[in-house]
Each structure stands twice: as C-alpha cells, then as structure tokens.
Amino acid sequence: MASRSSVLLLLLLFSFTSLVLKCHSTSPDDLKTYIVYTGNSMKDETSSLFLYQIMLQEVADSNAAPKSVLHHYKRSFSGFVVKLTEEEANRIAGLDGVVSVFPNGKKQLYTTKSWDFIGFPQHVQRSNTESDIIIGVIDTGIWPESESFNDKGFGPPPSKWKGTCQISNFTCNNKIIGAKYYKADGFKIKDLKSPRDTDGHGTHTASTAAGNPVSMASMLGLGQGTSRGGATSARIAVYKACWNDHCDDADILAAFDDAIADGVDILSVSLGGSNDQNYFGDASSIGAFHAMKNGIVTVFAAGNSGPSPASVDNLYPWSISVAASTLDRKFVTKVQLGDNRTYEGISINTFDLKGELHPLIFGGDAPNTKAGKDESESRLCHLYSLDPNLVKGKIVLCEDGSGLGPLKVLGKLGLSRFVKLR
C-alpha cells in the first residue's frame, strides 16, 4: 500500500513539474514588442479590440498568460502593439486581415540664415490664410516658454482642428495648439511624462518649421541674427514620440495616427535610422502613407550621413526627404604657429587664448595606454583615447575621423584647443 502511494505521489509530482515547465516555457527574454498593422481604420473600436484578442488567442500558446495589447491604432489606420515570441509573430503574420508584423525598432534624432539662402526671406509677402496652416511635429516635444512660440497676434485655432493639449501641466496657446506624448513600452524613471522637451531637438525642429522671428539669436555669439521658421504665422501641433535620444516605432506610429485625425496640414519628422525598402514593415512609411491618403504631406530628414551612395534615409514614394546641401557662409578660425605661419580652417570656435602660445601635440603621440588605448584611436582623438597628462595645456592636432568626443568631457582634461587635420 505504501509502495502504491509512493508511486502515485511520484506521478503527481511529475505531472505537476511538467505543467510548470509547460506554463513557463516562454520566458520574458523570449518576448519582444511587435507592431501588428492591419490596414485602414475600423469604424467600431470595440469590434477591432475583440478581433485583436481573437487573433492573439489563435496564435498564443494555450498555456501562456493572456496577451495584453500595449497600444492600438484606431483613428487614422488600424493595428496594435503587443509582446510576442518570434514564432507567435510569424503565426499572426499569416492570419487574414494582417498586412504586416514587424519588431518595434528604434529610430534616431537627426541655422539663422537658411531660409534667406533658399530664397524665402523674412519679409516675403504671405497669404492671410497661412495662420490656418497646422504643422505637426513628431519629435522630442517642445519647450512652450520659448519666444519662438509666443502667440502674440494669433487668433483662435482654425475650426478644422480636432486635437487637444493632453495634460494640465503643459500650457498650449494659439501658436502651440496641441501637444501629446506616447510611450507604449512603458516609462523609465527619468522620463518626463509630458509633451515638454528635455532634449532640445524637438524645440529646434519646431522653431525651424514655424518659429516666430527672434532677434539677436546666435550660437555662442557666432552667426548673430534673427532666428525664425519658414512659416512664422503657422500653428504647431506637438507629438512627443522620442525619449532619451531614440524613438520607438510604436510611438512614432501612434503620433501619426493622432496627427492625421487631429487635422494637421503638414507633418515634420526629423527622425531616421532606416533606409529599408520594406514600406509596410516600417512605421514611418506606414504613417506617411496614411497621411498622404488624407492629403497631408510628410517631410522627413534625409539623415546626417554622406555624401556617399545609399546614405539617405526615409526614402518613401509618398513623402519628401530633405537633406542639407551648402550654405553661403562659413565659420572660420585661424591658428598661428610659433614661426608666425597661419592656417585657417572651418570651426565653431569660442575660445579666446588672448594671444598666448601653447605647445602643439599630435593626438597619435599621446595614447591613453592606461585605458587600453593605442595610437590608432588617439590620432583621431576618440573619447578617452588621449593621455590627460600628455595633452594638458596643449593644442591637440587630430586626424579627421568620426570619433571626436564631446568637448565638454575633453575640456576636463585641461585641453586648450583641438585642431582636426583633413
């Protein structure tokens, strides 16, 4: 009898262990955030959510925990964001009604005289209807107190506007008429839950598009003039989809979804990081496609790479990608050597050496060997590649490369100047 009980107990334990192993066969590390795009928007939001749950039940492991939709797109197109295994993502991609399924990738964030240079001076004659134009900016948010966004002289927003100012601690006005933020994958401790800009990139791009004229603007005293946007009397709607220097595709798509339905006329999106030609596996491409279908032009940044082949981002047939070319001015700095020879080069220089001469050293001769760096890095002045004792108080000559570290960090080494050799 005791023997039979022992066998029964072992069988129960084995069954329980198998059940536990089966229930936990999918670990959190196996799950990734995916975007499931299902095409045009559905009229009935409740029905669409019900359909999504049926889809998830069909592809999910029967023993796995129920899937939660992190965000669903409903205003301008349809789809949802959810955590799946790669196998589940492949399964759901084969279901009827699913256009595409792709991972929630990350995109990166990409002057006072530019508008004059392209033939659009400050005092150009403007249409009275320009104040009815609404430019939606998908970026890092905005700093509403900036003079670039003062609403003096602006009347109420046009009647076509359907957007809102999402939270009470961010004040919209008749210039910034709407502001929202998105974070489908959850906030981190340092994230500011607000459309307010803590990076500066979104404030910069918004002011470039539609900022008011601000006189006496400069870059540390250089290039002094009037800073202004291209359409100074246009309104701005802000969609914060970028946090801590990156932008999740799920949030970019949510911003497009709202901006299209809110009634913007133009979308400014200075983000990139992908030149994938899979148009319906790319959040920016999908968003711009639906914007185009609603008569909204999307203007992307072409990126900060190049000039070289295949270095342009955001190549979608239904949008515009804009790249920097040339400018009719340059900032130069002169370096005078001890033998009185003078060399001139392009530089944003705010140092004043007051005529004092400093020793010159080549970065390749000052590798930070204690940090494991060698001449191949120090000659390019890569971050932490220079020996602080060897370069302190000297002008460092660097070969041209892509790794010149932040000057505020290098300045702590006591460096006087950097010169890049091309």
Final residue in a domain of this structure, among 40, 68, 103: 103
The domain total for the chain is 3
Domain match, 227 and 364 both: no
What Cα–Cα distance (Å) separates residue 273 from each residue in 28, 277, 301, 302, 303?
27, 13, 10, 10, 8
Residue 3, in any domain of the structure: no
Could you tell me the residue range of the domain that residue 115 belongs to? Answer: 107-322
Q: Cα 91 vs. chain centroid, distance in angstroms?
A: 30
Is the bond preceding 158 in cis, omega lying within 30 degrees of 0?
no
Low-confidence ranges of the chain (pLDDT < 50): 1-24, 402-416
Residue 1, in any domain of the structure: no
If one counts every other C-beta atom within 10 angstroms of the C-beta of residue 11, the result is 10
Domain match, 57 and 170 both: no
CATH number at residue 355: 3.50.30.30
Residue 2, in any domain of the structure: no
Residue 135, in any domain of the structure: yes
Domain match, 197 and 153 both: yes
CATH number at residue 76: 3.30.70.80
Q: Tell me, what's the pLDDT at 7?
A: 38
pTM over 0.85: no
Domain match, 54 and 87 both: yes
Final residue in a domain of this structure, among 58, 86, 103: 103
Domain match, 135 and 281 both: yes
